[in-house]
Amino acid sequence: MEIVGIIITGIGVLFLMLGNFGVFRLPDVYNRIQAGTKCTTFGTFFTIIGVGIMQPDWFWKCLLIAVFVLVTNPISSHAIARASKKIGVELCERSVVDKTTFFNEYKEPK
Amino acid sequence: MNGTIIIIFLAMIGLGFIFSILRMLLGPTASDRAVAMDTITTTVVALLVLLGFVFERYVYLDVSLVYSLLAFVGLVALARYMEKGI
């Protein structure tokens, strides 16, 4: 049972490192949001579940923390992406398509 | 658990922190710094649970839960501030 926990924790830690490296590497704000949110959500979930498998007394609280991160992390990243689109952060030059042009004529309701 | 494996795991998480802190230092806009902050706080939640397993302290799980809640509220407030001001 401990070997399974070590393997799952190793997968999670590897994804955490790759997500942080993607935040440094990618050329644009929106690409960085994608790398920094998807990889760290997956990595945090697997790391905490792996610790809960290695230490069976802690499993339910570990599951609670993992589900909380799994729910709240996409909400905060969506808020940051929406804010950076509305204040007019440019896409990088190699972008192909941008389907959110309706934000340019967005007016506040009176 | 073997000591070498846990040192390798902590070294990989520390290597990830170096990349995110570099992005936070030289990011062009404020949104880049907010994204790096989001990534660092989510990584710290996993790191606290892993350190609680290493030191065999049950209290670190409570610290991790409260830290993730405060990080979520802080990031939503920061995005709201960047969008239209307080």
Percent with pLDDT over 90 in chain A: 55
Q: Which of A65-79, A93-107, B54-68 has the lowest mean pLDDT?
A: A93-107
Instruction: Say yes or no for a CB contact (<8 Å) between B79 and A21.
Output: no
- Provide the mean pLDDT of chain A: 86
Q: Which domain does B31 fall in, by range?
A: 3-84
Identity of the residue in A21, A43, A80 whose CB atom sits nearest the CB atom of B34: A80
Structure token digits, residue A108: 């506040």
What span, in angstroms and rounded, lies between the C-alpha atoms of A60 and A62?
5
Instruction: Say yes or no for a CB contact (<8 Å) between A69 and B19.
Output: no
DSSP string, A26-60: -SSHHHHHHHHHHHHHHHHHHHHHHHHHHSGGGHH
State the complex-level ipTM.
0.89
- If one counts the domains in chain B, the total is 1
